[in-house]
Amino acid sequence: MRIAVFPGSFDPITIGHVDLVLRALPLFDRIVVAVGVNSAKQYLFSLEQRLEWLRQVFAPYPSVQVDHFQRLTAHYCRRIGARYLLRGLRNGSDFDYEKTISQINRIVGGGDLETIFLIAQPGMSHISSTIVREIIVGGGDASPFLPKEVKINV
């Protein structure tokens, strides 16, 4: 079974994240959208809220599973039997960063963890959770960047 993990903080999930998962569906038997929990990081939304949004967004897709994990992504992949990591690239900076992380994950994951990169569609390459959080905190309307299931009151 071809299992891919799409790890992230999803704080919050954006339409760019959703697009990436939907485009990857034909490539894998199962995609696990997994919220990585870092106790040293400050999040805008609770883990429970982020998981609920993910469950709502991907409810129509039986081959998408929602989960969360702590510690190393590569160890989580090994634990659930995933041999693939799914990552999105918006620009060259993303590529430089993600390339290094993918090489480390391959080593830490035992040598058989492959990272699959999908390039963001042109209309979504400007969307990031960081920018969406700034819009939300600033009292702006972030709805154009969020799935319809994500309702945020500012």
What global pTM score does this model have? 0.93
3-state SS class at 77: helix
Whole-angstrom Cα distance, residue 139 to residue 111? 45
Average pLDDT, rounded, for the chain: 93
Instruction: Give catalytic status of residue 75 as yes or no.
Output: no
Can you give the pLDDT at residue 90? 87
Positions of the chain with pLDDT under 50: none
41 is an active site residue: yes
Q: Among 23, 78, 83, 90, which one carries the catalytic annotation?
A: 90
What tokens appear for 144 in the block? 């154009």
Side-chain-facing half-sphere of 106: CA atoms under 13 Å:
11
- State the pLDDT at residue 151: 86
Question: Annotated catalytic, 126?
Answer: no
Determine the Cα–Cα distance for residues 142 and 23; give it in Å rounded to an integer. Answer: 23
Name the catalytic one among 9, 17, 50, 87.
17
Predicted pLDDT at 154: 58
Which of the following is catalytic: 9, 50, 87, 129?
129
CATH number of this structure's domain 3-145? 3.40.50.620
pLDDT for the residue 152: 85
- For residue 92, the model assigns a pLDDT of 82
Question: What is the structure's pLDDT at 81?
Answer: 96
